[in-house]
Amino acid sequence: MLTFTRFVYAAFGTAAIAAGSGGLIRPGLLGTEVAESPLMQHLVREQAAGFVFIGLMFFWCLRHFDARRPVHLALLTFTVIFAGIHWVSGYAWSHPQVLVVNSAPALLLAITAPWKER
> Is residue 30 over pLDDT 80?
no
What is this structure's pTM? 0.88
Backbone torsion region of residue 80, taken as left when φ is above 0, otherwise alpha when ψ lies between -120 and 50, otherwise beta = alpha
Q: What pLDDT sits at residue 118?
A: 64
> Is residue 117 over pLDDT 80?
no
> Is residue 15 over pLDDT 70?
yes
> Is residue 6 over pLDDT 90?
yes
**How far apart are alpha carbons 12 and 68 in whole angstroms?**
15
Q: What does the pLDDT average to over 102-107?
A: 91
Backbone torsion region of residue 90, taken as left when φ is above 0, otherwise alpha when ψ lies between -120 and 50, otherwise beta = left
CB 103 within 8 A of CB 83: yes
> Is residue 18 over pLDDT 80?
yes
**How far apart are alpha carbons 73 and 87 in whole angstroms?**
20
Domain map of the chain by residue range?
A: 1-65, 68-113
**Exposed e or buried b per residue across 31-48, where buried means at least 16 C-beta atoms within 10 angstroms of its C-beta:** eeebeeeeebbeebeeeb
DSSP 8-state secondary structure symbol assigned to residue 117: -
Tens digit of pLDDT for each residue in 55-97?
999 999 999 999 999 999 999 999 999 988 888 887 767 878 8
> Is residue 101 over pLDDT 70?
yes
Measured in degrees and rounded to the nearest 5, phi and psi for residue 114 equal -85, 80
Q: What does the pLDDT average to over 38-58?
A: 94
Burial group, residue 12, by CB count within 10 angstroms (0-12, 13-18, 19+) = buried
